[in-house]
Structure formats: structure tokens, C-alpha cells
Amino acid sequence: MDHTAGRRQTRPAAVVRAAYRDSGVGTAPSVHRGPGRTDTRYAAMHEMGIAMQIVEIAVASVPAHLKGSPVERVNLQVGKLSAVVPDSLRFCFDVVAKGTPLEGADLNIEELPVTARCRACGHVWTIDGPAFTCPECARGDLELLSGRELDIRSIELRENRTPDA
């Protein structure tokens, strides 16, 4: 299928990260997603709050001359430490997007691994499990390089009229 005609990618005017932190959602005390400690009610609220921010920011970042164009896809980067469950976020997004230019839009979620750098020896690695110690020198003094992201990378619009090719 050829979706490229009449579609335009816009770099977001705003990034979710800022709003996300300011909202306090990101600093909410402990989302336990490990086996046996899952608070599903809180979890749903977590994704719902994020979905509302995504819709708000995506709507706000549509350029003025394209206002009203339906959004076809929102490309999102989510770090694995952000405690976001993609399926849950997609569900919340569909609910929140109803009645907005984002209704029916596809939420494309790219999950980013957790990477860290050891402050003691400078080793950089990807953290897969619960162990947060350096595999080289076994120290625990590390700096997180990625894993907490929650960014809108781009928004794809479907233009109703395409004066230029």
C-alpha cells in the first residue's frame, strides 16, 4: 500500500519528556510490574495519564497551516524503565483520542533498552535483568544513558488536500 503520498512527517514542537516530568506522573511512587507485585488499577492510570499527554502534545504540535488534518501515526520512543506497558498505552490512547484529530491514529511504540555507564571504569552496557552492577568491575555506581525516555519522535499527518507533490 502506498501511504506516502499526501503524508507529511513533522518533528514534534514539544517533547513528552518535559511535560511528563512536570506533571508528576514520572515521579509517581513505585510502579511495581514485577511478578506478584502488579497494581493493575494504578498501572492503568499510569498509562491513561501518559496517553492524555501524548494526545495533548500531538494536537498542539500540528503546524498551524495543517490544523484539522487527521493524524495517521504517532511515533513514540519509550524506555524500558518508564514502566509503560505498550498494549495498555495503545488501549488508553485509543480511548483518549476519540473526538480529536488523533482518533484512529496508529500509536507506534519503539521500546528502548536500558543502557548504563559505569562511573568507576567507564564500561557501557545494556541492562537486561534486575542486576544494576557493572559487569566489568562489579561496582554499582552507574549513570543511566537511556531507558527512561518517553518522547514523541514524530507525528505523521494525512492531508486532505495536497497542493504540492
Q: Which residues bind Zn ion (CB under 5 A)?
A: 118, 120-121, 123, 134, 136-137
Nearer to Zn ion, 42 or 132 (CB): 132
Nearer to Zn ion, 59 or 120 (CB): 120
Give the Å distances, CA to CA, from 60 to 12, 16, 68, 97, 142: 9, 11, 11, 13, 36
52 phi and psi, to 5 degrees?
-65, -40
- What is the smallest separation between the CB atom of 119 and Zn ion, expressed in angstroms? 8
CB nearer Zn ion, residue 17 or residue 123: 123
User: To the nearest whole angstrom, how small is the minimum distance from the Cβ of residue 80 to Zn ion?
Assistant: 21
Amino acid type, 90: R
Shortest spacing between CB 127 and Zn ion, in angstroms: 13
**C-beta of 104 vs 140, nearer to Zn ion:** 140
The three-state secondary structure class of 125 is strand
Q: Coil, strand or helix: which one is 86?
A: helix
Tell the smallest beta-carbon distance from residue 147 to Zn ion (Å): 18
